[in-house]
Amino acid sequence: MFNLVPDEFSNIMKLTGLFALLLYIIATSTSAQTRLIVESTPAFLTNNERLFLAASFNEWDPGDLRYELKKQENDTYTINLPDTLNQFEYKITQGSWALAEGTKKGEKIGNRRFIRSANTSDTIRISIEGWESKPTYRFVVTRIPENTPKDAQIYITGNFNNWDPGMEVYRLRKQMDNTYRISVVSELSRLEYKFTRGDWNSVEGKQTGRALPNRVLERAQAGEQKDVNIEILTWEDFSGTFNFFSIYDLLLLFSAFQCVLLMIAIPSMQDYNRRANYWLVISIAFIAVMIFIHVIANYRGVAQSNTKLLLVPDFAMFLYAPLFYFYLRNLLFKTPILPRQWWWHFILPSIQVFLYMPYFLMEHKELQILIVNKDSTMYLMFISLGFIGLVSNTYYWFLCRRTMRTYHREYTTLASHEQNIQYLQTVLIIQAICLLIWLFSGALMLFNHLEISNTYATYETSVDTIWLAFSLIPYFLGYFAIHQPEIFKIPNKEDLSLFKTDKEHTAETISQQTVQDESKEKEFEQIWLEWQPKIELYMTQEKPHHNPGLTLGELAGKLKMPPHQLSRIINEGYHKNFFDFINTYRIEDFKMQYEDPKNKHFTMLAIAFEVGFNSKTAFNRAFKKMTGSTPREYFYDSRVED
């Protein structure tokens, strides 16, 4: 053992004490902190009653969880800050800059400042006089889906929090009356929002399983509190992808299925209108794909995993019209399978593919964010392409209408039977309806984008109406393609355009030209005197008009004369086109047979078919045109019809 004298022991104890004191001083100096105390606050604007420190040292984050003040038993809020912060600026918020401290009158205040050298204490004591006066929206969710988990947390997200689906500051609080409430303060001119259970997979949706459009609120007045009652119908992750089909979706899917059946049936038919049906099958296949993708892309599961599918139906804007035009040309005219400079018709679709390609190449999550946030560049592109698409489809509509009118005028100079192309007029009417609704939808989208008014719900309904009307087209095209006979084609009309005028070979224009040319008039008189008796004799004796499909070329061949010469005789001599010329003989023949007693057991329609008419409609129309009255009005005594 060591033996220490009292003086030595005393000295050791003094050294030990000094060493301990030195360690205490060092420890207290390195762990010293600045304490911020909020001693009083006005009434909170939200139900959360949480305070945050937004300062120069945390990049002015208004909802930084690391710098949340803790509520004490005496209703003060405190936070300890590192002693290394010798100087900084700060403000107190309720979790966002929309909920920042202000004056009693709701005016904005400047930043608070702390300078350690100017303060005698490490404790900062402040009082909050008020909050910046901004529009306040109190959302009250009065009903949630029955399948909502009992421990679910419900959040509100929107353009006021950069569409963060699970921000704690925007979590709704359950009340005693089983409602969920939250107050949102924002100076935005218009609020767009949705409710989630913390992420985008659990966002609210429609009962059909389709995505719900953003809810919209117009801006409230500064300092005003606007109460909004909400009912959440369903959650997208609990509605299922295909568990709920609306009647609308079923109609569209049935149309797509009908297109598939037509694609199988049309190529197996007789060789009627083969080239035209080639384009018809392509058009119907395109319609089927676009309709099917449009339906499935609006369901949660598909939209979440394959967001890019939402963009695919847009290609119908520029591709359908050229395909239908090619079908119409090949159906009515003797044209090559592709018109001259056909590639011009696909310039706009190519531009659309080029503009959409960056969105197809990006990650689908990134694309989702752009769509949800309504990226200005993307929506400007959508609006621009929509307008160009409307103009393009309107041009093709008038071009198709002009094509049909040209055909209707020209075939009467070459054929004697009426063509069953009324279904094409029906298709044009449907297309016109689509164009009008498209124009209306474009105006709604523009108003919504410019925030003139909240028209998104009406816009969505109008777009659905366009697709529903669009889905009707295959029914008409397919049905008549299967049941109609071969369409009589007239010679090629490659100069058809809205900006060119077709030469009209009518009896009136030809007569005017012959009057001006005396030599041609004398030449025609000789032809007329030579051929007029031969033609009339042949018509009365051989009755070629009994052939429903008689054409100008066939009659000219039987008369052994050039077709152009026969056409000239009919136009200039009889002042009729070939169609009316043949129908005149048919009507006169009908009158004679109808009044013949031996034909009393035949119906009018049977006799009409006997003299060469190919339909009841064609017969009634021709009879009315030639006599000025219907067959019943012309013959006073009616017979019992079969």
Residues 9-27 have pLDDT tens digits of 566 655 665 655 555 455 4
Main-chain dihedrals φ then ψ at residue 366, nearest 5 degrees: -65, -40
Tell me which range, 187-191, 271-275, 290-294, 300-304, is most confidently predicted by mean pLDDT: 290-294
Q: What is the four-CA torsion angle of 369, 372, 377, 382, rounded to 10 degrees?
A: 130
Mean pLDDT along residues 597-626: 84
CA distance 74 to 79: 15
Strand-strand pairing, 101-102 and 130-131: antiparallel
CA distance 344 to 287: 21
H or E element at residue 257? helix 247-265
Q: Which residue has the higher pLDDT, 492 or 573?
A: 573
**Residue 235: pLDDT band with limits 50, 70, 90:** confident
**Among the ranges given (44-53, 221-230, 357-366), the one the predictor scored with the smallest mean pLDDT:** 221-230
Mean pLDDT along residues 138-159: 90
**Among the ranges given (76-90, 303-317, 371-385), the one the predictor scored with the smallest mean pLDDT:** 371-385
Mean pLDDT along residues 363-390: 85
Cβ-defined contacts of 264-273 (< 8 Å, 24+): 265/478, 265/482, 266/478, 266/481, 266/482, 269/481, 269/482, 272/484, 272/485, 272/486, 272/487, 273/330, 273/331, 273/481, 273/486, 273/487
Q: Give the pTM.
A: 0.64
**Among the ranges given (3-12, 92-101, 151-160), the one the predictor scored with the smallest mean pLDDT:** 3-12
CA distance 180 to 172: 6
**Residue 626: pLDDT band with limits 50, 70, 90:** confident
DSSP string covering 147-184, please? TS-TT---EEEETTTTT-TT-GGGBPEE-TTS-EEEEE
Q: What is the pLDDT of residue 150?
A: 87
Q: What is the pLDDT of residue 197?
A: 93
Q: Which residues contact 169 (CB under 8 A, 6 or more apart)?
A: 46, 48, 50, 63, 94, 95, 96, 161
Mean pLDDT along residues 196-215: 81
Q: What is the pLDDT of residue 400?
A: 92
CA distance 245 to 258: 18
